[in-house]
Amino acid sequence: MLEKSEVEKYQAKLEQERRRLLAEIGNEQPADFGSDVEGEAAEEESDESEDFTNKLAIQQALKDQLNEIDGALNRIRHGAYGTCVKCGKPIEKEVLDLVPESELCEEHKRGI
């Protein structure tokens, strides 16, 4: 069981990371594909399309991480932070130090 001061430390870390993610998600600009379809312009459009696809994947990863952080903050509010959602055992501090939004103990993270 985590002490209150430890939970507060993780909460501050999670809230800071949440703010950073929100800022990063908010800073993305939409792609401008233009309307060129021939020659070099078509190749440029293809490159822009690939870049856009990559940005979408990054955006989704950031949003997924944000959801995990929101889940951890919700567990803090409900007094369930630091407890594995699969087995109910305490999550190791080493795991929380590396990934404070973790909802699984080391055993379940490895799939054992």
Q: What is the pLDDT of residues 100-111, one digit of tens each?
A: 999 999 999 998
Q: Distance from first CA to last CA of the chain, Å, rounded? A: 22
**What is the DSSP-derived secondary structure letter of residue 90?**
B
Identify the pLDDT of residue 111.
Answer: 84
Q: What is the pLDDT of residues 17-64, one digit of tens each?
A: 999 999 998 886 655 555 555 666 666 667 778 888 999 999 999 999
Q: What is the pLDDT of residues 92-101, one digit of tens each?
A: 999 999 999 9
**What is the DSSP-derived secondary structure letter of residue 30?**
P
Q: Is the pTM of this model over 0.85?
A: no
Identify the pLDDT of residue 44.
Answer: 67
What DSSP string describes 32-85? ---S--SHHHHHHHHHHHHHHHHHHHHHHHHHHHHHHHHHHHHHHHTT-TTB-T
Superfamily of domain 4-29+36-109: DksA, coiled-coil domain (1.20.120.910)
| 73 neighbors 11 (Cβ within 8 angstroms) | yes
The domain locations on the chain are 4-29+36-109
Query: 94 Cβ partners below 8 Å, 6+ apart?
Result: 106
Q: Kindly compute the dihedral angle of the four CA atoms of residues 36, 37, 38, 42, in this order, to the nearest 10 degrees.
A: 90
